[in-house]
């Protein structure tokens, strides 16, 4: 059944992104919003808007009943969850289908299996995908935990089965610390995710974060190559690129094939990302998790493949088969994305929402800015601080970095402190330029470069 009217159960730049894809497909759009978001760009762009509750996300963007009521009221026949919020909530996917609507994403059962990180590990092992050495599934008792710790050795990573967004992860370096952190981590995971379940993994030191984009229609699955997101702060990505600069063609083939095998093994439907850690000293890669939704950094893949991933996920949800066979998906050039947040990198990334007094957006060849901003908009304090994503493409990685530096120079967000100065420095950094980075590279760099970040402040937003 082709979709005629799509409700967007999200906010910010991703809501704008989804409306654009829907409009090009000739699909009408309904944007839901909280009381704090009546002025947001997606509300202005959508054909219809419905107020679903107070600013607090638990009462609006996470309020399943209010979202379903908005769909009924407007006659929407499908719901796109974006990322974050309800995007990986299996109960929401089930409720959408039970209401006779289309969920733009995988089935509830697929989210249940692959969205639970401990269960996803099992599915990956079963599909022959290498995993980080660790527990088989959730850890049920302290005795089991001790036995596994003895087996894999320290340092160990304690991870919440329901975790995400870099939260719910602890590193233990010895047995005493391990016992203490297990108790702490479980209580925190229970509070943050409503599920205290834990599993453990060996710590892969100096690894790169590499992830494979997959598209699947329930029968067939293809990959759209990989992204590298090794520049992270607190396990959250800040700079993403495609392709991974140090991956050999042979390893790329192997890595992407493993992602497709896993998607096929669960009859996956929709867009998904399979995340790995890659050790470039040994050439080994290890599955860490699957995100059963569109990801923040999807545009870099769109730039190197020419595929509109959001359009494709909407088409698949409407019942279409995959538009591409694997041999039709090529990789060209290099793309980089940076996350422009309303945070001050010179003050430990202190969030600073508020009014946008002026706005100059970068443009020109190979330059894309996916944003929620417009001049006169006031960024509300209640949500994630992502304002927009600056994405560039060029034939070579070197060219893309030069283009990023140039585009960052054009960006001016008046009135707010943003992460822009951080990226200007990173684009000039010799290690970044040589792609000599890993997931723990950025944090010490930030310590060492505090002074330079403060100096950059003087030069603009
Ligand atoms: P990962 O969780 O693997 O880092 P992404 O990089 O795609 O995946 O980040 C998604 C995260 O972005 C969510 O888990 C959440 O913390 C955050 N987020 C959720 N909703 C929004 C939103 N509307 N705008 C910006 N960020 C969001
Ligand atoms: P989330 O669901 O929060 O995105 P992930 O499992 O994807 O959690 O891990 C987030 C980040 O934490 C990774 O990108 C990586 O930097 C780090 N990480 C996760 N697992 C390990 C591990 N076993 N060893 C080393 N680093 C890890
Ligand atoms: Mg992750």
Angle value at C-alpha 222, between 221 and 227, nearest 5 degrees: 130
Q: Which ligand is nearest to the CA of 287?
A: 2
Same domain, 426 and 368: yes
Mean predicted lDDT score pLDDT of the chain? 96
CATH of the domain at 245: 3.30.470.20
Q: Is 386 in the pocket of ligand 1 (CB under 6 A)?
A: yes
Same domain, 304 and 261: yes
Same domain, 13 and 143: no
For the stretch 413-424, pLDDT in tens is 999 999 999 999
Overall domain count for the chain:
3
Same domain, 404 and 419: yes
Same domain, 197 and 228: no
CATH of the domain at 46: 3.40.50.20
Last residue of a domain, one of 202, 230, 246: 202
Q: Is a pLDDT exceeding 60 seen at residue 317?
A: yes
Same domain, 258 and 151: no
Instruction: Single out the catalytic residue among 121, 252, 293, 315.
Output: 293
Which of 84, 228, 289, 388 best tests ligand 1's pocket when mutated (most atoms within 8 Å of CB)?
A: 84
pLDDT computed for residue 32 by the predictor: 99
Banded pLDDT at 143 (limits 50, 70, 90): confident
Classify residue 314: in a domain, yes or no: yes
248: containing domain: 208-459
Measure the CA–CA gap between 393 and 17, rounded to whole angstroms: 18
Q: Is a pLDDT exceeding 60 seen at residue 460?
A: no
Contact, 192 vs 168, CB < 8 A? yes
For the stretch 336-363, pLDDT in tens is 999 999 999 999 999 999 999 999 999 9
Cα of 83 to ligand 1 centre, how many Å?
A: 6
Same domain, 55 and 190: no
Classify residue 123: in a domain, yes or no: no
Classify residue 82: in a domain, yes or no: yes
Backbone angles phi, psi at 111, to 5 degrees: -65, -40
What residues does 158 pair with on adjacent strands? 170, 200
Q: Is 258 in the pocket of ligand 2 (CB under 6 A)?
A: no
pLDDT computed for residue 459 by the predictor: 59
Q: What share of the chain is helix, strand, coil (3-state, %, to 5)?
A: 40, 30, 35
CATH of the domain at 137: 3.30.1490.20
Active site residue 293: yes
For the stretch 218-256, pLDDT in tens is 999 999 999 999 999 999 999 999 999 999 999 999 999
Q: Is 85 in the pocket of ligand 1 (CB under 6 A)?
A: yes
Measure the CA–CA gap between 111 and 118, rounded to whole angstroms: 13
Cα of 379 to ligand 3 centre, how many Å?
A: 26
């Amino acid at each position: 059944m082709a979709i005629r009217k799509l409700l967007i159960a999200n906010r910010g730049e991703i809501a704008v992104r989804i409306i654009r894809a829907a409009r090009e497909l000739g699909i009408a759009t309904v944007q839901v919003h909280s009381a704090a978001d009546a002025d947001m760009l997606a509300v202005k762009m959508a054909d219809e808007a419905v107020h679903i509750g107070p600013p607090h996300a638990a009462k609006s963007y996470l309020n399943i009943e209010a979202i379903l009521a908005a769909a009924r009221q407007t006659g929407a026949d499908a719901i796109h969850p974006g990322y974050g919020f309800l995007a990986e909530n299996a109960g929401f996917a089930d409720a959408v289908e039970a209401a006779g609507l289309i969920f733009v994403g995988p089935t509830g059962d697929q989210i249940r299996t692959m969205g639970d990180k401990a269960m996803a590990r099992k599915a990956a092992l079963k599909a022959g995908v290498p995993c980080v050495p660790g527990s088989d599934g959730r850890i049920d008792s302290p005795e089991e935990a001790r036995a596994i710790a003895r087996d894999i050795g320290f340092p160990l990573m304690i991870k919440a089965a329901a975790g995400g967004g870099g939260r719910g992860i602890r590193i233990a370096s010895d047995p005493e610390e391990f016992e203490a952190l297990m108790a702490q981590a479980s209580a925190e995971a229970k509070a943050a995710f409503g599920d205290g379940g834990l599993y453990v993994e060996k710590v892969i030191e100096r690894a790169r974060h590499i992830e494979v984009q997959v598209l699947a229609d329930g029968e067939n699955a293809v990959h759209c190559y990989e992204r590298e997101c090794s520049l992270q702060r607190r396990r959250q990505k800040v700079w993403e690129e495609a392709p991974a600069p140090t991956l050999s063609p042979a390893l790329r083939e192997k890595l992407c094939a493993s992602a497709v095998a896993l998607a096929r093994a669960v009859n996956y439907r929709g867009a998904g990302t399979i995340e790995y850690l890659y050790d470039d000293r040994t050439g080994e890669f290890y599955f860490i998790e699957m995100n059963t939704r569109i990801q923040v950094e999807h545009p870099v893949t769109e730039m190197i493949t020419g595929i509109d991933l959001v359009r494709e996920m909407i088409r698949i949800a409407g019942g279409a088969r995959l538009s591409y066979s694997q041999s039709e998906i090529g990789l060209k050039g290099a793309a980089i994305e940076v996350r422009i947040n309303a945070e001050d990198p010179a003050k430990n990334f202190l969030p600073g929402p508020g009014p946008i007094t002026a706005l100059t957006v970068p443009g020109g060849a190979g330059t894309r800015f996916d944003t929620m901003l417009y001049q006169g908009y006031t960024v509300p304090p209640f949500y994630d601080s992502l304002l927009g994503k600056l994405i560039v493409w060029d034939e070579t990685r070197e060219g893309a970095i030069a283009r990023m530096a140039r585009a960052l120079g054009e960006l001016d967000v008046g009135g707010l402190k943003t992460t822009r100065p951080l990226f200007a420095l990173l684009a000039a950094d010799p290690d970044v330029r040589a792609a000599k980075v890993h997931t723990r590279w950025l944090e010490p760099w930030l310590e060492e470069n505090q002074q330079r970040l403060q100096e950059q402040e003087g030069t603009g937003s």
